[in-house]
Amino acid sequence: MSAREIHVPGNGRTLDAYLAEPKAAGGRHATIIIIHEIFGLDDHVRDVTRRFADQGYNALAPNLFTGPLQQVMTPANVQIAMRALAEAPPGLRSDPSKFQQFAASQPAERRPILEAFATVTDPTTQDGFALDLLAGSRYLRGLPSVDPARIGAVGFCFGGSVVARFATVDPELKAAVIFYGQRPPLERVASIRASVLGLYGSEDPGITGTVPEFAEAMKRAGQRFDYHVYPGARHAFFNDRRPNYHAESARDAWQRVRGFFGKEFA
């Protein structure tokens, strides 16, 4: 396995990215796009990217915060935003206008952080990120090391939400894994052509509570959606560098992901 920092095309911009490639040289390989959490392209995401390469995949982790956002959306600043939001009225994050009002009411040093947080979690911005991934997947399909018929994606938290939207705009995407991310708009589910696997924690009701309606919409659209809810697991249970890490659930989830991509790319 080899890994390096590269640049890839986005939607009208260039993205920083981390690429890990399998040890086996030559030929075309199945490729997985890994989408980071709200903390950005950090060491955990790079580790997951290398794990996929060790399984024989090309693995690409683009940094969707490339540019000015990257300077603000640091792990420390995200923690500040989360602490502020823990004290905010419920439902704030689902209403962009109220979020902006809340940000304006905070101490001056918090405002840029909360405004950036509001930007990256806004549905319109996430639609733009999905188009970045579409541009990236088209770029990948033109590479000699990539099998264009075997491209998948996996995203975590924020990244899971973006992957869900990505699946609605890329009809050539073969498989998608959503780790505790928000479902896509239900009216767009019929556009999904990829098989989808969802992995959720029982102690994450804001996310997990929306899964049954997503599953029903996928069923009506005739699309495959398998999902599993881990008892006792909280949000971000897969991230072994965060306090919510749940080792047993994470181990099982990794095996499910490996089996899912192995079957879809067979």
Residues tagged active-site: 157, 204, 235
Task: Convert the chain into a string of H (helix), E (strand) and C (coil).
Answer: CEEEEEEEECCCCEEEEEEEECCCCCCCEEEEEEECCCCCCCHHHHHHHHHHHHCCCEEEEECCCCCHHHHHCCHHHHHHHHHHHHCCCCCHHHCHHHHHHHHHCCCCCCHHHHHHHHHHHCHHHHHHHHHHHHHHHHHHHCCCCEEEEEEEEEEECHHHHHHHHHHHHCCCCCEEEEECCCCCCHHHHHHCCCEEEEEEECCCHHHHCCHHHHHHHHHHCCCCEEEEEECCCCCCCCCCCCCCCCHHHHHHHHHHHHHHHHHHCC
